[in-house]
Structure 1
């Protein structure tokens, strides 16, 4: 039995033991590891439909760790840059002025003058120019539950930029369930009425747990094959701990791979998962 190690070289050795070329259960938002669950498939369809049909405002919500940011990156990767300009804002907790500046810069422009009127005019000019070229424009805002009401009202004003037939910009709000509460407030009634598509991402169903794990293992495998055997009881334990939340599945599976490596075993059993959960929750003596 090997001793546990926490340095980078040690973890590289862990993944090599399973025939993996990279970390399969990293908690970063990498679309390469995207698992098309029923709810994620529906969310992806709603996003692409809303963007393609120029529906204006779109709202996507989900609990922490359900893969919302990964979904954002997935959508942007699938958009044709020849027909659609896109920007993704990951830190919306800014003032309305600061956010407007970030939006302009994320669309690849330099801010000419840092006044509200000048920046609105510059953004309007950009949207009109893209429209004349036949291009759609998409602004995705992650962690949108952190937006201030005043900032949301400014975004509503941006959405007023339109032709007689279509919206010049599609704005996608992505956030935790608190976003729905925020947008349902009476002070944002005008904005709420403009949201044409709303979708809430639910955690994975129990029967999706193994396919989710296998998808990530195949994506990280050096030969495209799954070389780790998660037993049925380990899958049960993983779901019991995670409730189907992808991020929690990643956390416990990553810990379990280390336990399997230490035990020199390619089989991950239920007991390994239970011990991993105890370690994650700080319950190990």
Structure 2
């Protein structure tokens, strides 16, 4: 399927933009009860300066999208450094944070960089401003790196934490934080929240929400059996829901079907799982080639029969009968 088909299906379904892009666009955030609670907890933890905050959830459940929504909801008095390169050593993370926050390094040693960061945080606190460090995919951080990050929480006054640190990752992060060498970090966690997969009714509302934001007039574009199948395949994981739904719209457009039924979902899943067009599409392509070949063969035989009639003086009615018989054999 040509890439331009993905753009054409927007017009076919009356959409202003693609509703199921894989990018973490906070405009498309669907707040299930669990997502709403997690966002409220994150806002509370940052605004109340709880220090360490942990957010966990399976891959694709919308953690990064939620973090972008959090950034939008924080007031202008909060500076945010968002670190997504979780395989960096501590010194690399520290350098990234300084650059992200616009802090002059003050020197090449770790001590000088920590002093520069501390001075920045103290000045912001003096003017009533807050600072947040978000570490995404934190389950990949080495225990030694996490311990160094814990030491950043020592930047504090007698009454408040100068730096709020969000550790965000897969459920494995919770297991890593139970390591004996990270006991001091675990004791400093002021708030924990998690995001579970969507339930069936939430999956239905998730799809409707994204369609509405994308400009759809028909929010029942996906039938109930189709949503059931999407839920069955995705397990309620938003990322997988997006991928399946995007392919469904493409297949629906190719078939010129205004509603996405379960059969289209099955074909989209088959395509995703096998990496090849579903059998129905292959059959259509083969049938088309067969029909073209048959028409070519009939034309060729017609010419040959005409030559036979002329050359052997065959009676015309006999020739017509023979041609019809050949055509019947080649084209059912």
Contact 1:27 1:247 in 2 (8 A): yes
- The counterpart of 1:130, out of the listed 111, 124, 130, is 124
Alignment match, 2:2: 6
2:162 to 153, 168, 192: 168
- Pick the structure with more helix per residue: 2
Instruction: Report if aligned partners of 1:61, 1:177 keep a CA contact under 8 Å in 2.
Output: yes
Q: What's the secondary structure of 1:268's corresponding residue? A: coil
Looking at structure 1, the residues matched to 61 and 34 of structure 2 have their Cα atoms a distance apart, in angstroms, of: 10
Q: Indicate the structure (1 or 2) with the bigger Cα radius of gyration.
A: 2
Give, in angstroms, the shift of residue 228 of structure 1: 5.6
Give 1:193 deviation, angstroms.
Answer: 0.5
Within the candidate set 30, 34, 44, 1:35 is matched to: 30
The superposition leaves residues 184-216 of structure 1 with CA deviations (integer Å, 9 ceiling, x where unpaired) of 101000000000111121000111111100111
- Residue 102 of structure 1 is matched in structure 2 by 96
Q: Deviations over 1:22-79 (max 9, x none)?
A: 2111111110100001111111011011111100000000001000110111101111
Q: Secondary structure at the match of 1:48?
A: helix
Please report the RMSD computed on the Cα atoms of aligned residues, expressed in angstroms.
1.3
Gaps of 5+ in 2: 280-332
Mean Cα deviation higher: 151-160 or 54-63: 151-160
Are 1:25 and 1:254, in contact at CA under 8 Å, matched by a contact in 2? Answer: yes
Q: Is the 8 A contact 2:103 2:120 kept in 1?
A: no
| 1:46 equivalent among 41, 58, 77 | 41
The aligned counterpart of 1:26 is 21
3-state SS, counterpart of residue 274 of structure 2: coil
1:231 to 217, 223, 236: 223
Within 2, Cα distance between the matches of 1:197 and 1:6? 48
Structure with the larger RCO, 1 or 2 (CA within 8 Å, 6+ apart): 1
Distance 2:110 2:218 in 1: 54
Residue 10 of structure 1, CA deviation: 2.5
Q: Deviations over 1:83-108 (max 9, x none)?
A: 21111111121011111000111112
For 1:209 and 1:146, the matched residues in 2 are separated by 29
* 1:227, distance to aligned residue in structure 2 (A): 5.5
Is the counterpart of residue 58 in structure 1 residue 31 in structure 2? no
Is the Cα–Cα contact under 8 Å of residues 31 and 74 in structure 1 kept in the other structure?
yes
Q: Does 1:278 align with 2:270?
A: yes
Unaligned runs of 5+ in 1: none
| SS of residue matched to 1:230 | coil
Measured at CA, do residues 125 and 18 of structure 1 come closer, stay the same or move farther in structure 2, by a change above 3 Å?
Answer: same
Aligned position for 2:141: 147
Match of 2:329 in 1: none
- For the 8 Å contact 2:98–2:117, the answer to whether it is kept is yes
TM-score normalized with structure 1 length: 0.94
CA contact (8 A) 1:228 1:266 kept: no
